[in-house]
Amino acid sequence: MTDTAAATAQEAEGAPKPNWVWRSVILAGLTLAVPATAYFGLIEILTGARAGLSKAAAEPLAALAALGLSLLTLKVYNEKERVGLDLRGLFSVRPLGRKAALLAGFGAVDALLVWGLDLFMARYYPGYEGSGVIAKYWSGNTSWFSMAVSTILYASCEEIFLRGLVLNYIKKHAGLWTGLLVSSLLFSLMHGGRIWVSLVFLFVSGLLYGAAFELSGGLAVPCLLHGLHNFVLRAIFLLGL
């Protein structure tokens, strides 16, 4: 080893380790701030008196803008925090057969979770109506295609941050299991919920998306899984089921 290399190694050993806890919380906060501000803010602007767009036209445009900002943030933080992600291969669907099988398998587990939650809520919380914020933004769009596209795109924004950045950042500094647990906890707390069962359900969903990310080796499967999950919930809500 050369003198320069030895000096660099000593500096690296003596350098303070980054506080991954607070940095992961900041990244989780950006999950709310970046896509949510763009998405919900643009919906309000585009459906306002000046633009006058329908909700069906405004939602996909707002979701595309949120996704673009999320991808830009992913690129910046991947370089700044040295997460080490291969951005080119992160959204690859190859090999298609394996990714499709993983999506189907995780989708079946997710459907069972939703079904179990539905039965639990019907039995123990029959009067629970969910979030008023969700009710506001999930109403007024009568185009199923528009709803599917915007819902999947917005869910992808959350996956970019929580699985793409938070999970990988924590895994790099504290290991895979810590990354899965902390990112799932942050996912649960971010979405909130007035009753404990919704927090538990969201935590388990976070573990499911994290496992989908690890086993598939990219974000394509968890993005689709999360997006389809939200779309099914949205359909159940709008159909009054």
Per-residue pLDDT at 7 exceeds 60: no
**pLDDT tens digits, 52-85:** 899 999 999 999 999 999 999 999 999 988 888 9
Average pLDDT over residues 121-145: 79
Question: Domain locations in the chain?
Answer: 3-238
**Which residues have CB under 8 Å from 110's CB, separation 6+?**
205, 208, 225, 229
Q: Measured at the alpha carbon of residue 76, what is the angle toward residues 74 and 78, in degrees to the nearest 5?
A: 65
Q: Give the global pTM.
A: 0.88
Element (H, E) at 158: helix 144-159
Beta-carbon-side half-sphere exposure of residue 106 (alpha carbons within 13 Å): 29
**pLDDT tens digits, 173-205:** 999 999 999 999 999 998 877 788 889 999 999
- The CA distances from residue 208 to 21, 164, 194, in Å, are 21, 14, 22
d(CA 33, CA 167): 18
Which residue, 163, 198, 165, 169, is CA-closest to 184?
A: 163
Per-residue pLDDT at 15 exceeds 80: no
- Give the three-state DSSP class for 176: helix
